[in-house]
Chains A and B, each alone.
Chain A
């Protein structure tokens, strides 16, 4: 079945460590996104990519980095510079050709906890 796979589902990180969250899609979508969700809050955009080898910062990019070497993959690295990384992270993808009415498909999310 086509979809978006995020791994792992739960992730624990020690303070000062970098950690990478995986996001893979087999929907042949051009655009991919990373969102952060804090308890009881909406989704805030971290980074997005509309095409391979290109990505743009979202609203809260500080302390995060991404790469887009393949169309199917958009990994997110949470660096030690991110002061409060404990959150729920959601990856999404969408078609690029019809930007207005194309829904975004989401993965199941990764819950990151700093211990």
Chain B
């Protein structure tokens, strides 16, 4: 079975600082994908970034980067130069071949950016 663990229930960061949100995973699938989603207070889920298990380089999308450490089974999200609009819930998720494409989510981290 696949499992995602996010150990930080809440994070508080000053505006313009970088922040790292932790995510560890467990799976028996030989191939899998890792995702990060942002959920503002309005409730919709916004896709941020994707990392494939066989990708050689860490994924980057603008201010978002994914620090993928396969041996440690971790997929931390790094947000550079945080902005007030980054305040939201952040969810790590994974997919796998044996998981029949369904996404498994972690519990989430509530990020608050202080001015």
Residues in A lying within 8 Å of B, measured CB to CB = 31, 33, 35, 40-45, 48, 50, 56, 58, 88, 90, 92, 94, 96, 99-109, 111
- Check B33–A100 contact: CB distance below 8 A: yes
Contact flag A45-B108 (CB < 8 Å), given A108-B44, A109-B44:
no
Residue B32 at the chain A interface, CB threshold 8 Å: yes
- Check A106–B100 contact: CB distance below 8 A: no
Closest CB-CB distance, A48 to chain B, in whole Å?
Answer: 5
- Check A106–B103 contact: CB distance below 8 A: no
Residue B105 at the chain A interface, CB threshold 8 Å: yes
- Check B45–A90 contact: CB distance below 8 A: yes
| Cα–Cα, bound, A56→B101 (Å) | 12
| Cα–Cα, bound, A69→B31 (Å) | 31
| Cα–Cα, bound, A40→B89 (Å) | 9
Using CB atoms, name the residue of chain A closest to B10: A40
| Cα–Cα, bound, A102→B32 (Å) | 11
- The list of the 8 closest CB pairs from A to B, nearest first, reads A106-B45, A99-B101, A100-B33, A42-B105, A43-B105, A103-B47, A109-B43, A42-B107
| Cα–Cα, bound, A48→B101 (Å) | 10
| A44-B105, A108-B42 given; 5 more Cβ-contact pairs under 8 Å | A42-B6, A42-B108, A100-B53, A100-B95, A102-B101
- Check A56–B100 contact: CB distance below 8 A: yes
- Check A101–B33 contact: CB distance below 8 A: yes
- Check B101–A42 contact: CB distance below 8 A: no
Residue B35 at the chain A interface, CB threshold 8 Å: yes
Q: Which of B32, B35, B52, B100 contacts A103 (CB 8 A)?
A: B35
- Check A42–B91 contact: CB distance below 8 A: yes
- Check B108–A41 contact: CB distance below 8 A: yes
